[in-house]
Amino acid sequence: MDGVPRRRAVVVISSHVARGSVGNRASVFALETLGHPVWAVPTVMLPWHPGHGPATRIVPPAADFAAFMRDLEEAPWLGEVAAVLSGYLGEAAQAPAVASLVRRVKEKNPEALYVCDPVIGDIGGLYVPKAVAAAMREDLLPLADIATPNRYELAWFAGEKLETIEALADAALRAAPPAMLVTSAPGSAKSSIGNLLLMPGEAHLAEHPAIEDPAKGPGDLTAALLLAWLLRGASPAEALRRTTAAVFEALARTAERGADELMLETDAKSLSRPTATVQMRPVPLPRGA
């Protein structure tokens, strides 16, 4: 109808760094590059990614954060929102406020998507307090339409090691969200790495050569791009292919330059029109799935 805004805005809730392309810096840029207005909510402010060394960490007081989120819940423009994407939390107390906003968005727009990127750890284990990881598991994952953990985060949620594609697929199907993209999945060769996407009734793996010591932020970028392509009407397999190709291309170009952060401002075209090739293959679902 004329005069009614299209529901294409995305609320992105994650960390903010002054320098670098991680957290909201990566997610917001990707979504806006693909044509989605963004409401950006910082959960913590940092000068740079913690992987670069210690630095000042500013987390908004829990009461202030909750009040901020309640304002968004009552915003007269909430009908514009097509999706919510949450990532890194500054503290566990933020999870209920995020969950409340997700419920309010879905009340306003039942077709809205919630993508939960449970940023809690990596190959070395958890890098957030256990209370934060537990809040992700208990408050946010059950609300998610799609979750985007890496394989080590999924292993923590499942409480077991996940060494194979079959084990990842089984654990993902037992998790709360109806759909899941598992990053850092093992590829068909030791030198490759992949993204495993499981949707109701189908599963696909997109893999590419692994990049040694990649720049920070590929998980944030992956979650945002997958959501952007799904909102644009791409099939799950096509959204996975485009997302994986774009992130691989951006990581590879960053590595070629010797940069220590993703250079999204330089590689914006890679996000919308990637030329990198990734190998796609269907993954058999476990019996009964």
Higher pLDDT, 7 or 268: 268
- Model confidence at 288, pLDDT cuts 50, 70, 90, reads low
User: For the domain that residue 36 is a member of, what is the CATH number?
Assistant: 3.40.1190.20
Domain assignment of residue 207, yes or no:
yes
159 vs 146: CA distance, rounded Å? 20
Tally of CB atoms within 10 A around 190: 8
pTM: 0.95
What's the pLDDT at 165?
A: 92
Domain assignment of residue 288, yes or no:
no
The single residue listed with the structure tokens 């959960």 is 43
Domain assignment of residue 3, yes or no:
no
pLDDT tens, residue by residue, 29-88:
999 999 999 999 999 999 999 989 999 999 999 999 999 999 999 999 999 999 999 999
Domain assignment of residue 1, yes or no:
no
Give the mean pLDDT of 186-205: 92
Bridge partners (DSSP) listed for residue 126: 121
DSSP 215: P
Q: Which domain holds residue 37?
A: 9-282
Confidence check: pLDDT of 125 > 80: yes
pLDDT tens, residue by residue, 227-256:
999 999 999 999 999 999 999 999 999 999
Q: Find the radius of gyration of the CA atoms of the chain.
A: 18
The single residue listed with the structure tokens 């990637």 is 274
Q: Which of 227, 242, 229, 253 is nearest to 21 (CA)?
A: 253
Domain assignment of residue 287, yes or no:
no
Give me the phi and psi of 14, to 5 degrees please: -165, -170
pLDDT tens, residue by residue, 145-176:
999 999 999 999 999 999 999 999 999 998 88
Total domain count, the chain: 1
Domain assignment of residue 210, yes or no:
yes
